[in-house]
Structure 1
Amino acid sequence: MTWPVNAEQTEKSYIWLDSMHANLVDSVGSTAVWFDNFFALEDFPTDSSARGEARIRLGWEPRTRDLNEFETRFKVRFKLPKLKNRVDVILSDHDDEQADNSLNVLQNQDYSEKNRFSLALRWKSKPDSGFSHRIGVGRKLQIFAKSRYRNFHQLTDKTSFRWETSAYLYSKDGLGAEITGQFGYNISDSDLFRFNNHFYYRDKTNDWFWQHNVQNLKQLNAETALITGVYLEGKSQPNYRIEEYLISTRWRKNALREWLFFEVEPFVLWRRDESFSASYGMALRVEGYFGKL
């Protein structure tokens, strides 16, 4: 038996979501205006207003042998028209070198614990330039400077290649560099294959940290997607070897509001420090987007 759904009643039952969303959007917008006025160039007229966008993600990733793996992640960006839209302010609780589409349990602990907070000014010579430069604080409040170049190539109607490279200097960790490449193949309008590679050189430890993964992204409908992947991470010292690898299937659903997403991701993880014994887990996440750039 199917019970009738009252759309108006459903809308009212989640009115607190709209109130929370409006308050956060107002807060992000007000902060964007403050930054815009603080860094304003004198006598630069503009018809645009400062804007901001925030992304907040909360998750729990319990697995056998570790039930207390929680994930909190946020990223806030501000566009500053009084600086000719060439400068953004970026506030985040994680460093950009961390893979944004993998589970928190997969992040190498020696690497990720230092990357919990970052506040930076990003500058571009032109708004659409592939070159960007940052100065700020990150990794336990170290001062850093970073330059990055990104590019995208549409190889054929179905294949594409995206890559980026960067170099940076942290006040304590020293020099570092990274290179990332992503190959994409559109199997169909709703089915995408991706092969990602990321290499990161750490001057402090004189080694390379690397990540490889293969993903299949399938759009089930306008609100739902399924992402299946195999992920590997490792180091170059004492030799080039795998430290951990994982397989997972992520179900992602846009529900209740257009800015709200839910994810369920069963996974199996193998780690070197656990003798590569299989650890089974289930990630549960909620993610919200507030404001718009």
Structure 2
Amino acid sequence: MHQNITESVNDSALWFDEFFMLDQNSLSDQALGEARIQLGWSPRSRDLNEFENRLKLRYKLPNLKNRVDLVFSDYDDEIADNPLQNTKIDNRSERNRFSLALQWKAKPDSGLSHRIGIGRRLQPFVKSRFRSLLNINHQADIRFETSAYYYSNDGFGADFSLLYSYVFTPQSMFRFNNHFYYRDSTNDWLWQHSWQHLNQINDKNALITGFYMEGLSQPTYHLQEYLTSSRWRINALRDWLFFEVEPFVMWRKDEAFSASYGVSLRIEGYFGQT
């Protein structure tokens, strides 16, 4: 099954790449693709129907000198990768379910990228993003990222994040992340802060313990939700197969900040290579 899906992903990459051939005699055999599929269930007290389904496809196009990627996903990349991404503030889990875009860079290793495509209920959009990494010393670094975008119906938006990482040992790391999203439709900021400790137990097992907060800037800077969790990630059965178990406790403003207990169960498959 894994081989068939991988071959299908790579065949699709070659098919897309053919559109950009300048010489019919120089068909590239270097085009490759990758697919990530994740299925999950996050039941908690008061809500047993929190399901997570994610699909992302990315194709490298050598005929465009590896400066252009074709990206398809059923979720919005602007959502930070933390457990609060599945909450329903502003119905983000329902709005940002599909994106198809071309992403290009002036140079393959450039920190500045641009994207054009359709997303958020088939709205045409354009987006520019800049990433930069500052190494403080051999143990600490700061990653800065900012982007601006325009959707045909939702209007302008922007986000920026500042991630501080500190490596205690080759197997242990601390991260502190601040992420802000500006939304033109509501003229406010959605903010997220998180603290994480990452521990690589061995080549197959890792543990991520964290505390996460999320809120809004209007009418005042206020908290909407916070959560603490411990995620165990294991690579088992196959090299391309990953499992996650993440017990958590959540407090939400619309639930009077009463504790809600739950656990996230996920399975993720990786197909292809780039």
The TM-score by the shorter chain falls in which range?
over 0.9
Q: 1:201 to 1:96 in 2, by over 3 A?
A: same
Which 10-residue stretch deviates more, 187-196 or 103-112? 103-112
Deviation string for 1:218-240 (max 9, x for gaps)?
01111000000001111111211
Distance in 1, Cα, partners of 2:262 & 2:124: 37
Distance in 1, Cα, partners of 2:88 & 2:34: 25
| Structure 2 counterpart SS, 1:66 | coil
Deviation string for 1:129-169 (max 9, x for gaps)?
11100000000000000011111111111101111111111
Match of 2:248 among 252, 261, 267: 267
Distance in 2, Cα, partners of 1:109 & 1:276: 18
Give, as a single letter, the amino acid of the residue that structure 2 aligns with 1:222: D
**Corresponding residue number in structure 2 for 1:27:** 8
Question: Does 1:249 pair with 2:230?
Answer: yes
Matches within 5 A, 1:79-90: 79-90=60-71
**Corresponding residue number in structure 1 for 2:79:** 98
| Structure 2 counterpart SS, 1:276 | coil
CA contact (8 A) 1:54 1:290 kept: yes
| Structure 2 counterpart SS, 1:269 | strand
Matches within 5 A, 1:228-247: 228-247=209-228
Match of 1:64 among 35, 45, 62: 45
**Corresponding residue number in structure 2 for 1:131:** 112
Question: Does 1:195 pair with 2:190?
Answer: no
CA contact (8 A) 2:14 2:29 kept: no
Distance in 2, Cα, partners of 1:247 & 1:113: 24
- How many residue pairs get aligned? The number is 273
CA contact (8 A) 1:87 1:124 kept: yes
| Structure 1 counterpart SS, 2:83 | coil
**Corresponding residue number in structure 2 for 1:181:** 162
Distance in 2, Cα, partners of 1:142 & 1:172: 7
CA contact (8 A) 1:98 1:107 kept: no
Q: Higher Cα Rg: structure 1 or 2?
A: 1
Give the aligned CA root-mean-square deviation in angstroms. Answer: 1.4
Distance in 2, Cα, partners of 1:119 & 1:175: 19
**Corresponding residue number in structure 2 for 1:162:** 143
Matches within 5 A, 1:70-81: 70-81=51-62
CA contact (8 A) 1:61 1:105 kept: no
CA contact (8 A) 1:235 1:241 kept: yes
Give, as a single letter, the amino acid of the residue that structure 2 aligns with 1:42: L
CA contact (8 A) 1:106 1:246 kept: no
CA contact (8 A) 1:98 1:112 kept: no
CA contact (8 A) 2:14 2:28 kept: no
1:26 Cα deviation (Å)? 1.3
Distance in 2, Cα, partners of 1:109 & 1:34: 38
Structure 1: state its 5+ residue gaps: 1-19
Distance in 1, Cα, partners of 2:149 & 2:201: 40
Deviation string for 1:23-78 (max 9, x for gaps)?
1101111111111112x042395755210001111000000000011000111100
| Structure 2 counterpart SS, 1:113 | helix
Distance in 2, Cα, partners of 1:114 & 1:105: 12
Give, as a single letter, the amino acid of the residue that structure 2 aligns with 1:132: S
Distance in 1, Cα, partners of 2:187 & 2:21: 41
CA contact (8 A) 1:153 1:162 kept: yes
Which 10-residue stretch deviates more, 102-111 or 247-256? 102-111
Distance in 1, Cα, partners of 2:118 & 2:86: 25
TM-score (norm 2): 0.96
Q: 1:177 to 1:281 in 2, by over 3 A?
A: same
| Structure 2 counterpart SS, 1:256 | coil
**Corresponding residue number in structure 1 for 2:22:** 42
